Amino acid sequence: MIPFFDLTKQYASIQSEIDDAAARVMRSGWFILGPEVKTFENEFAEYHGVKHAVGVGSGTEAIHIALLALGIGAGDEVITVPNTAVATVAAIELTGARAVLCDVRQDSMLLDVEQLERAITPRAKAIIPVHLFGQSCDLDPILRIARANKIFVLEDCAQAHGATYRGKRVGTHGDIAAFSFYPTKNLGAYGDGGAIITHDAALAERVNLLRQYGWRERYASEIKGMNSRLDELQAAILRVKLRHLDEWNAARRERAALYTELLRTVTPPRERPYGQSVYHLYVVQTPRRDALIAHLKTRSIGAAIQYPLAIHQQAAYTNLGYRDADLPVASRLAREIVSLPLYPELALDDVRAVAQAVNEFK
C-alpha cells in the first residue's frame, strides 16, 4: 500500500519536539493569543522577510479577514481563478463581494495573465492570484495590471508555503497574503489555523482588530470584528514545524523531480522559470483520469483529485453565471487532473513504484 498522504510519518520524525511543545503549552495554562502565538507570528514574519504576521483561525478566515482589511464589501468584485479550492470564493462571498473568475493556463494551471485585464470592471477592487499546487503565479504582470487599475493584490498562499517568485517568497509581493495551516499543507497544524502577512502596518493593525471583535483593549470593540484566533497549541506545533519547512520542501522537490524524470504516459507539472515550486501536490494531466485512478487502486496506490469540480461547476456557485465554454481550460483540467502521492517522508522507491504503475497504464 502506498497511501496518497501519511501524516503519521511526519509526526514520528519530530515526535519529541512536538510532544515537548504541546506539554509546554499545557503547563502554561494559557491557550488563546498568548506567547506561543506571538512568537510564531514573529518567526513566520521573519521567515518571509515581512514586518507583520497575524495568526487566525483558518485559511478561509485569513482570506476573509484580509479582504475586509482592504475594505472589500458589498458591490465590489474580486477576481480569482475557477480551479481553486472553494475556500477562496467562499471567503470572497462572506464579505458581500462578487467573485469574478479568470481562466488559467493549460501548462501551469495558474491564472492566465493574458486574460486578466478583460476580467476587470469598474467594480473590481482586488485580485487573488492563487499559488496553486506549490507553484507561484507570474506576479510581475499581475502587479502591473493591478497598479494600473488601482486595485489590491491578495496572494492566496495556502498551497505554497516557502515557494519563491524571482528569489523572494510568495506572500511578500502583493498588498497582503493569506496562508492556511490545514494539517496536509506543507506547513500544517494539527487542526485548523491560518495567518495573514503584510508589509503594511495599518493593514496589520486592522487585521488584528478584525480577528478578535475589534478589540484593542479587552471588551472594547473599536470596529465590528469576529472570533478568528490561532490557538496557543497550534502555534507551538507550527513553531516546531517551521524549523523543518525548508528541508521538507527540498524533499518534496526531490521526489517531484524523480516523478518528472520517470513518467512517460501523463503530462507532468512543469516548474515555471520565474520561481521555485514547493510541490504541495504533484498534479499530472491525462484525458483518461478516472481510469488511471482505478488502475492505481488495483496496485494499492492512493491518488486524489484537486479539484474534481471547478468553482463555476459547483451547485452553490451557479449564480456566478459562468459556463464551461467561458472557462474552457479550467473546465478541461477538472476532468483531466490527478494528484499522485507526494510528501517528504515518501520513500524514493515508492515514487519509482508509482511511476512504474502509471507508465504501465494503457
pLDDT exceeds cutoff 90 at 79: yes
Same domain, 226 and 271: no
Q: Which three cell numbers stand for residue 210?
A: 478584525
pLDDT tens digit sequence for 86-112: 999 999 999 999 999 999 999 999 999
In a domain, 288, yes or no: yes
In a domain, 103, yes or no: yes
Give the end of a domain, one of 238, 263, 284.
238
Same domain, 210 and 258: no
Residue 321 burial (CB count, 10 A): 10
Same domain, 257 and 203: no
The share of the chain scoring above pLDDT 70, in percent, equals 100
- The region that residue 327 occupies, defined by phi over 0 for left and psi between -120 and 50 for alpha, beta otherwise, is beta
CATH code, domain with 173: 3.40.640.10
Question: Among the residues of the chain, which ranges form H helices?
Answer: 7-13, 15-28, 35-48, 59-69, 86-94, 113-116, 139-148, 201-211, 232-262, 289-298, 328-336, 348-360
What are the residues whose beta carbons fall under 8 Å from the beta carbon of 275, sequence distance 6 or more? 135, 136, 163, 164, 165, 166, 170
Give the end of a domain, one of 190, 216, 238.
238
Give the end of a domain, one of 192, 222, 238.
238
On the question of a cis peptide bond just before residue 182, with omega within 30 degrees of 0, the verdict is no
Same domain, 54 and 167: yes
Same domain, 188 and 293: no
Same domain, 165 and 73: yes
In a domain, 74, yes or no: yes
The pLDDT of 64-87, averaged and rounded, is 98
Q: What is the pLDDT confidence band of residue 362, given thresholds at 50, 70 and 90? A: confident
Same domain, 207 and 345: no
What is the chain's mean pLDDT, rounded?
98
The pLDDT of 205-219, averaged and rounded, is 96
Question: Residue 293's pLDDT is what?
Answer: 98
In a domain, 110, yes or no: yes
In a domain, 2, yes or no: no
CATH code, domain with 274: 3.90.1150.10
Distance CA 328, CA 347 (A): 37
For 113, the 3-state DSSP assignment is helix
Is residue 120 within 8 A of residue 151, CB to CB? The reply is yes
- Domain total in the chain: 2
The pLDDT of 77-94, averaged and rounded, is 98
For 87, the domain range is: 7-238
Distance CA 91, CA 271 (A): 28
Kindly report the backbone phi and psi dihedral angles of residue 303, in degrees, each rounded to the nearest multiple of 5, phi listed first.
-150, 165
Q: Which of 180, 196, 149, 241 is nearest to 48 (CA)?
A: 196
Distance CA 152, CA 173 (A): 11
In a domain, 189, yes or no: yes
pLDDT tens digit sequence for 126-178: 999 999 999 999 999 999 999 999 999 999 999 999 999 999 999 999 999 99
Q: Which of 331, 290, 333 is nearest to 109 (CA)?
A: 333
Same domain, 173 and 316: no
Q: Which three cell numbers stand for residue 304?
A: 486524489
Same domain, 51 and 93: yes
In a domain, 206, yes or no: yes
pLDDT tens digit sequence for 223-279: 999 999 999 999 999 999 999 999 999 999 999 999 999 999 999 999 999 999 999
Same domain, 308 and 333: yes
Same domain, 248 and 222: no
Same domain, 140 and 41: yes
DSSP 281: S
In a domain, 161, yes or no: yes
pTM: 0.97
